Amino acid sequence: MVLKTKHWLALSLVPQVLLVKVLGNNPEWVETYYSEGIYPYISKFLRFLFGWAPFSVGDLFYTLLTFAALRYLYLHGKTIWQRPKRFLVDLGSVLAVAYFIFHLFWGMNYYRLPLEEKLGIGREYSVAELETFTQSLVDQSNHYQLLLTKDSTKAVQIPYSRPEIFNEVLSGFDSLATDYPGFTYERPSIKKSIYSLALTYMGYGGYLNPFTNEAQVNGIIPIVRYPTVSAHEIGHQVGYSSESDTNFIGFLTCSKVSDPYYKYAAYTHALGYCLSDLRKKDREKFDAVWKNLNPGVKKNYAEIRDFWKRYENPTEPVFKAMFNAYLKANNQEDGIQSYNKVVGLLVNYDKRYGF
Protein backbone atom coordinates (compact mmCIF):
# COMPACT_ATOMS: atom_id res chain seq x y z
CA MET A 1 0.00 0.00 0.00
CA VAL A 2 2.79 2.41 0.99
CA LEU A 3 4.78 1.55 -2.14
CA LYS A 4 1.74 2.11 -4.37
CA THR A 5 1.14 5.51 -2.75
CA LYS A 6 4.75 6.46 -3.38
CA HIS A 7 4.36 5.45 -7.04
CA TRP A 8 1.37 7.77 -7.47
CA LEU A 9 3.14 10.58 -5.67
CA ALA A 10 6.22 10.21 -7.87
CA LEU A 11 4.10 10.15 -11.04
CA SER A 12 2.22 13.29 -9.91
CA LEU A 13 5.41 15.31 -10.40
CA VAL A 14 4.93 15.37 -14.19
CA PRO A 15 1.40 16.86 -14.24
CA GLN A 16 2.43 19.27 -11.49
CA VAL A 17 5.25 20.66 -13.62
CA LEU A 18 2.94 20.96 -16.63
CA LEU A 19 0.27 22.72 -14.56
CA VAL A 20 2.77 25.25 -13.19
CA LYS A 21 3.97 26.00 -16.72
CA VAL A 22 0.40 26.49 -17.98
CA LEU A 23 -0.49 28.77 -15.08
CA GLY A 24 2.85 30.56 -15.41
CA ASN A 25 1.93 31.56 -18.96
CA ASN A 26 -0.98 33.54 -17.50
CA PRO A 27 0.62 36.09 -15.14
CA GLU A 28 -2.62 38.06 -14.84
CA TRP A 29 -4.33 34.94 -13.46
CA VAL A 30 -1.44 34.27 -11.07
CA GLU A 31 -1.49 37.90 -9.92
CA THR A 32 -5.24 37.96 -9.27
CA TYR A 33 -5.90 34.54 -7.82
CA TYR A 34 -2.60 33.61 -6.23
CA SER A 35 -0.31 36.58 -5.44
CA GLU A 36 -3.18 38.89 -4.46
CA GLY A 37 -5.65 36.08 -3.74
CA ILE A 38 -4.70 33.13 -1.57
CA TYR A 39 -0.99 33.84 -1.03
CA PRO A 40 -1.42 36.71 1.50
CA TYR A 41 -3.48 34.38 3.72
CA ILE A 42 -1.00 31.52 3.37
CA SER A 43 2.01 33.71 4.15
CA LYS A 44 0.32 35.40 7.11
CA PHE A 45 -0.66 32.01 8.54
CA LEU A 46 2.89 30.66 8.18
CA ARG A 47 4.34 33.74 9.84
CA PHE A 48 1.81 33.33 12.67
CA LEU A 49 2.79 29.67 12.97
CA PHE A 50 6.56 30.13 13.02
CA GLY A 51 7.21 33.83 13.62
CA TRP A 52 7.00 33.59 17.42
CA ALA A 53 10.04 31.30 17.66
CA PRO A 54 13.25 33.20 18.54
CA PHE A 55 15.24 30.86 16.29
CA SER A 56 14.94 29.93 12.63
CA VAL A 57 12.49 27.06 12.35
CA GLY A 58 13.26 26.80 8.64
CA ASP A 59 16.98 26.34 9.26
CA LEU A 60 16.16 23.64 11.81
CA PHE A 61 13.87 22.00 9.26
CA TYR A 62 16.67 21.91 6.67
CA THR A 63 19.01 20.44 9.29
CA LEU A 64 16.58 17.62 10.08
CA LEU A 65 16.00 17.05 6.37
CA THR A 66 19.75 16.71 5.81
CA PHE A 67 20.04 14.18 8.64
CA ALA A 68 17.06 12.25 7.24
CA ALA A 69 18.72 12.08 3.81
CA LEU A 70 22.01 10.91 5.33
CA ARG A 71 20.14 8.30 7.40
CA TYR A 72 18.38 7.03 4.28
CA LEU A 73 21.70 6.71 2.44
CA TYR A 74 23.21 4.90 5.43
CA LEU A 75 20.34 2.42 5.67
CA HIS A 76 19.69 1.90 1.97
CA GLY A 77 22.94 2.97 0.28
CA LYS A 78 23.98 -0.58 -0.57
CA THR A 79 20.64 -1.43 -2.14
CA ILE A 80 20.27 1.69 -4.31
CA TRP A 81 22.21 0.13 -7.17
CA GLN A 82 20.53 -3.23 -6.66
CA ARG A 83 17.02 -1.79 -6.73
CA PRO A 84 17.31 1.58 -8.53
CA LYS A 85 13.59 1.66 -9.34
CA ARG A 86 12.66 1.72 -5.67
CA PHE A 87 15.17 4.52 -5.02
CA LEU A 88 13.77 6.57 -7.91
CA VAL A 89 10.24 6.09 -6.59
CA ASP A 90 11.32 7.23 -3.12
CA LEU A 91 13.16 10.23 -4.56
CA GLY A 92 10.32 11.10 -6.93
CA SER A 93 7.70 10.99 -4.17
CA VAL A 94 9.75 13.33 -1.97
CA LEU A 95 10.34 15.74 -4.86
CA ALA A 96 6.64 15.70 -5.77
CA VAL A 97 5.59 16.66 -2.25
CA ALA A 98 8.29 19.35 -1.99
CA TYR A 99 7.40 20.75 -5.44
CA PHE A 100 3.71 20.99 -4.50
CA ILE A 101 4.33 22.66 -1.13
CA PHE A 102 6.93 25.04 -2.60
CA HIS A 103 4.58 26.38 -5.26
CA LEU A 104 1.53 26.48 -3.00
CA PHE A 105 3.31 28.26 -0.15
CA TRP A 106 5.35 30.75 -2.20
CA GLY A 107 6.79 29.62 -5.54
CA MET A 108 3.93 30.70 -7.82
CA ASN A 109 4.99 34.29 -7.14
CA TYR A 110 7.73 33.72 -9.71
CA TYR A 111 5.02 33.94 -12.36
CA ARG A 112 3.17 37.06 -11.19
CA LEU A 113 3.09 40.38 -13.06
CA PRO A 114 6.39 42.30 -12.99
CA LEU A 115 6.65 45.04 -10.38
CA GLU A 116 7.10 47.75 -13.02
CA GLU A 117 3.63 47.00 -14.34
CA LYS A 118 2.20 47.38 -10.86
CA LEU A 119 3.96 50.73 -10.46
CA GLY A 120 3.18 51.94 -13.98
CA ILE A 121 6.81 52.50 -14.96
CA GLY A 122 9.23 51.13 -17.53
CA ARG A 123 12.66 49.50 -17.32
CA GLU A 124 14.53 51.16 -20.18
CA TYR A 125 16.90 54.09 -19.64
CA SER A 126 19.71 55.90 -21.44
CA VAL A 127 23.29 56.31 -20.26
CA ALA A 128 22.62 60.04 -19.81
CA GLU A 129 19.65 59.26 -17.55
CA LEU A 130 21.74 56.77 -15.60
CA GLU A 131 24.53 59.31 -15.13
CA THR A 132 22.13 62.00 -13.90
CA PHE A 133 20.38 59.64 -11.51
CA THR A 134 23.65 58.20 -10.18
CA GLN A 135 24.91 61.71 -9.45
CA SER A 136 21.70 62.44 -7.52
CA LEU A 137 22.32 59.31 -5.43
CA VAL A 138 25.89 60.49 -4.83
CA ASP A 139 24.50 63.81 -3.57
CA GLN A 140 22.04 62.06 -1.23
CA SER A 141 24.67 59.63 0.05
CA ASN A 142 27.12 62.48 0.68
CA HIS A 143 24.42 64.48 2.47
CA TYR A 144 23.51 61.74 4.92
CA GLN A 145 27.11 60.63 5.44
CA LEU A 146 28.09 64.18 6.44
CA LEU A 147 24.94 64.60 8.55
CA LEU A 148 25.71 61.43 10.51
CA THR A 149 29.49 61.78 10.94
CA LYS A 150 30.14 65.54 10.69
CA ASP A 151 33.27 64.58 8.74
CA SER A 152 33.29 63.70 5.03
CA THR A 153 36.20 61.28 5.55
CA LYS A 154 34.57 59.07 8.20
CA ALA A 155 32.66 55.88 7.46
CA VAL A 156 29.12 55.67 8.85
CA GLN A 157 28.67 53.22 11.72
CA ILE A 158 25.01 52.31 12.34
CA PRO A 159 24.62 52.31 16.16
CA TYR A 160 21.66 49.91 16.38
CA SER A 161 21.45 46.23 17.19
CA ARG A 162 20.20 43.82 14.57
CA PRO A 163 16.85 43.24 16.34
CA GLU A 164 16.38 47.02 16.52
CA ILE A 165 17.01 47.24 12.78
CA PHE A 166 14.43 44.52 12.12
CA ASN A 167 11.82 46.51 14.07
CA GLU A 168 12.59 49.84 12.43
CA VAL A 169 12.45 48.41 8.91
CA LEU A 170 8.82 47.49 9.66
CA SER A 171 7.99 51.21 9.95
CA GLY A 172 9.23 51.63 6.38
CA PHE A 173 6.78 48.99 5.20
CA ASP A 174 3.99 50.74 7.10
CA SER A 175 4.79 53.97 5.23
CA LEU A 176 5.07 52.16 1.91
CA ALA A 177 1.72 50.42 2.42
CA THR A 178 -0.09 53.76 2.67
CA ASP A 179 0.67 54.32 -1.03
CA TYR A 180 0.78 50.67 -2.10
CA PRO A 181 -1.51 48.39 -0.03
CA GLY A 182 0.11 45.33 -1.65
CA PHE A 183 3.14 45.93 0.57
CA THR A 184 1.17 45.58 3.78
CA TYR A 185 3.22 43.44 6.14
CA GLU A 186 1.65 41.85 9.21
CA ARG A 187 2.75 39.11 11.59
CA PRO A 188 6.54 39.77 11.27
CA SER A 189 8.80 36.77 10.96
CA ILE A 190 12.34 37.94 10.27
CA LYS A 191 15.31 36.28 11.92
CA LYS A 192 19.06 35.85 11.89
CA SER A 193 19.93 32.63 10.11
CA ILE A 194 21.49 29.84 12.15
CA TYR A 195 23.72 29.24 9.15
CA SER A 196 24.99 32.80 8.75
CA LEU A 197 28.61 31.68 8.41
CA ALA A 198 27.68 29.15 5.74
CA LEU A 199 25.64 31.79 3.90
CA THR A 200 28.68 34.09 3.96
CA TYR A 201 30.94 31.44 2.43
CA MET A 202 28.28 30.92 -0.24
CA GLY A 203 28.15 34.68 -0.87
CA TYR A 204 24.58 35.39 0.29
CA GLY A 205 23.18 38.12 2.52
CA GLY A 206 20.00 36.24 3.32
CA TYR A 207 17.17 34.15 1.94
CA LEU A 208 13.47 33.43 2.34
CA ASN A 209 12.50 29.97 3.49
CA PRO A 210 9.54 29.19 1.21
CA PHE A 211 8.27 26.40 3.46
CA THR A 212 8.03 28.44 6.69
CA ASN A 213 7.87 31.97 5.23
CA GLU A 214 10.65 33.13 7.55
CA ALA A 215 12.91 35.90 6.27
CA GLN A 216 16.45 34.78 7.05
CA VAL A 217 19.19 37.41 7.28
CA ASN A 218 22.90 36.67 7.41
CA GLY A 219 23.82 37.77 10.93
CA ILE A 220 27.47 38.62 10.23
CA ILE A 221 27.27 40.90 7.19
CA PRO A 222 28.39 44.52 7.76
CA ILE A 223 25.75 46.39 9.76
CA VAL A 224 25.50 49.14 7.12
CA ARG A 225 23.90 46.57 4.79
CA TYR A 226 21.55 45.11 7.39
CA PRO A 227 18.56 47.46 6.82
CA THR A 228 18.30 46.95 3.06
CA VAL A 229 19.00 43.21 3.20
CA SER A 230 16.30 42.82 5.86
CA ALA A 231 13.81 44.79 3.76
CA HIS A 232 14.83 42.77 0.69
CA GLU A 233 13.92 39.51 2.41
CA ILE A 234 10.63 40.93 3.71
CA GLY A 235 9.95 41.92 0.11
CA HIS A 236 10.07 38.21 -0.72
CA GLN A 237 7.66 37.53 2.14
CA VAL A 238 5.05 39.97 0.82
CA GLY A 239 5.09 38.04 -2.44
CA TYR A 240 7.77 39.40 -4.77
CA SER A 241 10.14 36.72 -6.02
CA SER A 242 12.26 38.68 -8.51
CA GLU A 243 15.61 39.65 -7.01
CA SER A 244 15.58 42.99 -8.82
CA ASP A 245 12.10 43.71 -7.47
CA THR A 246 13.12 42.94 -3.89
CA ASN A 247 16.34 44.94 -4.26
CA PHE A 248 14.13 47.87 -5.25
CA ILE A 249 11.77 47.19 -2.34
CA GLY A 250 14.78 47.09 0.00
CA PHE A 251 15.78 50.56 -1.17
CA LEU A 252 12.31 52.08 -1.24
CA THR A 253 11.36 50.75 2.20
CA CYS A 254 14.48 52.02 3.95
CA SER A 255 14.19 55.40 2.22
CA LYS A 256 10.73 55.74 3.85
CA VAL A 257 12.17 55.36 7.38
CA SER A 258 12.62 58.77 9.03
CA ASP A 259 15.88 57.83 10.75
CA PRO A 260 18.81 59.16 8.64
CA TYR A 261 20.86 55.98 9.22
CA TYR A 262 18.28 54.02 7.24
CA LYS A 263 18.16 56.63 4.51
CA TYR A 264 21.94 56.41 4.23
CA ALA A 265 21.72 52.63 4.00
CA ALA A 266 19.05 52.98 1.29
CA TYR A 267 20.86 55.50 -0.89
CA THR A 268 24.25 53.81 -0.71
CA HIS A 269 22.56 50.47 -1.48
CA ALA A 270 20.99 51.89 -4.67
CA LEU A 271 24.13 53.83 -5.53
CA GLY A 272 26.25 50.69 -5.52
CA TYR A 273 24.13 49.10 -8.27
CA CYS A 274 24.02 52.29 -10.33
CA LEU A 275 27.77 52.86 -10.09
CA SER A 276 28.42 49.29 -11.20
CA ASP A 277 26.08 49.72 -14.17
CA LEU A 278 27.56 53.09 -15.15
CA ARG A 279 31.10 51.69 -14.98
CA LYS A 280 30.13 48.96 -17.47
CA LYS A 281 28.42 51.37 -19.83
CA ASP A 282 30.76 54.40 -19.73
CA ARG A 283 33.98 54.29 -17.70
CA GLU A 284 34.69 58.00 -18.23
CA LYS A 285 31.31 59.06 -16.84
CA PHE A 286 31.74 56.63 -13.96
CA ASP A 287 35.12 58.12 -13.04
CA ALA A 288 33.62 61.64 -13.05
CA VAL A 289 30.76 60.63 -10.74
CA TRP A 290 32.93 58.51 -8.46
CA LYS A 291 35.25 61.47 -7.91
CA ASN A 292 32.35 63.40 -6.34
CA LEU A 293 31.67 60.76 -3.68
CA ASN A 294 32.75 61.54 -0.11
CA PRO A 295 35.74 59.50 1.15
CA GLY A 296 33.62 58.31 4.09
CA VAL A 297 31.09 56.67 1.74
CA LYS A 298 33.94 55.03 -0.15
CA LYS A 299 35.19 53.63 3.16
CA ASN A 300 31.81 51.99 3.75
CA TYR A 301 31.99 50.41 0.28
CA ALA A 302 35.54 49.24 1.06
CA GLU A 303 34.27 47.72 4.34
CA ILE A 304 31.67 45.70 2.43
CA ARG A 305 34.11 44.67 -0.29
CA ASP A 306 36.76 43.58 2.22
CA PHE A 307 34.19 41.60 4.21
CA TRP A 308 33.18 39.48 1.22
CA LYS A 309 36.78 39.15 0.08
CA ARG A 310 37.73 37.58 3.43
CA TYR A 311 35.29 34.76 2.80
CA GLU A 312 36.10 34.03 -0.85
CA ASN A 313 36.57 30.31 -1.39
CA PRO A 314 36.51 27.75 -4.24
CA THR A 315 32.94 26.61 -3.45
CA GLU A 316 31.33 30.04 -3.81
CA PRO A 317 31.16 29.96 -7.65
CA VAL A 318 29.55 26.51 -7.41
CA PHE A 319 26.77 27.77 -5.12
CA LYS A 320 26.31 30.86 -7.31
CA ALA A 321 25.99 28.63 -10.39
CA MET A 322 23.41 26.48 -8.61
CA PHE A 323 21.40 29.53 -7.58
CA ASN A 324 21.69 30.90 -11.11
CA ALA A 325 20.22 27.66 -12.48
CA TYR A 326 17.48 27.73 -9.83
CA LEU A 327 16.43 31.25 -10.80
CA LYS A 328 16.37 30.44 -14.50
CA ALA A 329 14.28 27.34 -13.82
CA ASN A 330 11.80 29.58 -11.98
CA ASN A 331 11.00 32.11 -14.70
CA GLN A 332 13.95 34.44 -14.00
CA GLU A 333 15.58 34.57 -17.43
CA ASP A 334 18.52 36.71 -16.28
CA GLY A 335 19.39 34.31 -13.48
CA ILE A 336 21.71 35.77 -10.87
CA GLN A 337 22.18 38.85 -13.03
CA SER A 338 18.60 39.81 -12.18
CA TYR A 339 19.93 41.43 -8.98
CA ASN A 340 21.46 44.17 -11.15
CA LYS A 341 18.25 44.79 -13.11
CA VAL A 342 17.11 46.95 -10.20
CA VAL A 343 18.75 49.94 -11.92
CA GLY A 344 15.94 50.20 -14.48
CA LEU A 345 13.34 50.26 -11.71
CA LEU A 346 15.25 52.92 -9.78
CA VAL A 347 15.79 55.27 -12.74
CA ASN A 348 12.23 54.98 -14.04
CA TYR A 349 10.55 55.25 -10.64
CA ASP A 350 12.53 58.43 -10.00
CA LYS A 351 11.53 59.83 -13.39
CA ARG A 352 7.83 59.31 -12.67
CA TYR A 353 7.51 59.80 -8.91
CA GLY A 354 10.83 61.15 -7.63
CA PHE A 355 12.61 60.05 -4.47
Among 65, 82, 111, the domain-final residue is 111
Residue where one domain finishes, among candidates 111, 135, 169: 111
Q: Are residues 167 and 35 in the same domain?
A: no
Please give the Cα distance from 90 to 87 (Å, whole number). Answer: 5
Calpha distance 355→351 (Å, rounded): 9
Kindly report the number of other CB atoms within 10 A of residue 21's CB atom.
Answer: 11
pLDDT for res 340: 63
Residues 129, 258 share a domain:
yes
Question: For position 318, what pLDDT does the model report?
Answer: 79
Residue 2 has a pLDDT of 57
32-50 in b/e form (b: 16+ CB < 10 A) is eebbbeebbebbbebbeeb
> Residue length, the chain?
355
Considering 111, 136, 152, which residue would you say is the last residue of a domain? 111
Pairing of strands 214-217, 206-209: antiparallel
Residues 237, 156, single domain; the answer is yes
> Do residue 216 and residue 86 come from a single domain?
no
Instruction: Check whether residue 211 and residue 292 sit in a common domain.
Output: yes
Q: Number of structural domains, the chain?
A: 2
Same domain, yes or no: 318 and 343: yes
Q: Are residue 104 and residue 134 in the same domain, yes or no?
A: no
What is the C-alpha to C-alpha distance for residues 70 and 244, in angstroms, rounded to an integer? 36
pLDDT score at 327: 67
Query: 27 with 112: CB under 8 angstroms?
Result: yes
d(CA 187, CA 164): 17
Q: What is the pLDDT of residue 332?
A: 67
Residues 50 and 129 in one domain: no
Q: Indicate if 193 and 270 belong to the same structural domain.
A: yes
Identify the pLDDT of residue 335: 55
The answer to whether residues 141 and 168 belong to one domain is: yes
Query: Considering only CA atoms, which of 341, 355, 354, 332 is closest in space to residue 116?
Result: 341
What global pTM score does this model have? 0.91
Checking DSSP bridges between strand 206-209 and strand 190-192, what pairing results, if any? Answer: unpaired
In a shared domain, residues 169 and 59: no
- Report the C-alpha gap between 241 and 30 in whole angstroms: 13
C-alpha to C-alpha distance for 279 and 260, rounded to whole angstroms: 28
- Tell me the C-alpha distance between 62 and 58, whole Å: 6
- Would you give per-residue pLDDT tens digits along the chain (355 residues)? 555 777 788 888 899 999 999 999 999 999 999 999 999 999 999 999 999 999 899 999 999 998 988 888 887 777 777 777 777 888 888 899 999 999 999 999 999 998 988 888 888 899 999 999 999 999 999 999 999 999 999 999 999 998 999 999 999 999 888 888 888 898 999 999 999 999 999 889 999 999 999 999 999 999 999 999 999 999 999 999 988 999 999 999 999 999 999 999 999 999 999 999 999 999 999 999 999 999 999 999 999 999 999 998 887 777 777 767 766 777 667 655 655 689 999 999 998 887 7
87 with 122, same domain? Answer: no
Domain that holds residue 241: 117-352
